[in-house]
Amino acid sequence: MRSRRLEYSESTRHALVDSAVDLFTKRGYAATSLDEVAKRARVTKGALYHHFSGKQALFEAAFDAVESRVMTRLAEIVVGPGDPWERAMNGIQQYIKICLDPAYQRIVVHEAPVVMGWERWREAEDHFSEQLIRLVVRRIDGMDHESVIRRHDILDQHCHGKRAMRHTHSLPAQYRPLVPFGSPNALDRAPGFVPVR
């Protein structure tokens, strides 16, 4: 049975991360102080330091929280009954919409490469990218060879993004030469997508 102390500790950490996500989204990393994060979470600054070594560690926790929520949402769409291709495409379309979410844009796209450093950010992005692509690949891997070829043009429109482009090698080997992930501006052509420059 979980102790109350453990539950309180986890509740405190979640409150701090939620507070950080909100403040980093609205103000950015540089303009957000740990005092503000602690105050918004209604905990002491000492409690904050109990969970995080500093501002960057808190930012990385906020980054992970945003990405994890995205993966949870996409998994709910992609995994389940129904036509595998349609569910996979719905997941990719939802990901494009998520790219426009303020928290995702500010924390994951704009702030993270600077705060975490390019290499650390790429490693983290690759981790979540692989999860996303594996979800999609699991759905289409059971489809017949002809169906994959017939629908590759849809994939070209929707699956070419900053993540999918780096992970064409994740497709089953027999489909790699048959399913191009599009030209560099394919995502820009996707309906409703507003590129982040």
Residues 23 and 79 in one domain: no
Same domain, 47 and 118: no
Are 66 and 108 within 8 A, CB to CB? yes
Encoded tokens for 113: 């490469």
The reported pTM is 0.70
Distance CA 69, CA 1 (A): 27
Host domain of residue 4? 1-52
Number of domains in the chain: 2
* pLDDT for the residue numbered 24: 98
Is the Cβ–Cβ distance between 100 and 87 less than 8 Å?
A: no
Using the 3D structure, point to which of 10, 27, 52 is the last residue of a domain: 52
Percent share of the chain, pLDDT over 90: 42
pLDDT score of 172? 40
Query: Both 97 and 162 in a single domain?
Result: yes
CATH code: domain of residue 21: 1.10.10.60
Question: Tell me, what's the pLDDT at 175?
Answer: 35
d(CA 93, CA 188): 13
- The 10s digit of each residue's pLDDT in 51-75 is 999 999 999 999 999 999 998 888 8
Contact 82, 131 (CB under 8 A): no
Would residue 23 count as lying in a domain? yes
Per-residue confidence band for 21, with pLDDT thresholds at 50, 70 and 90: very high
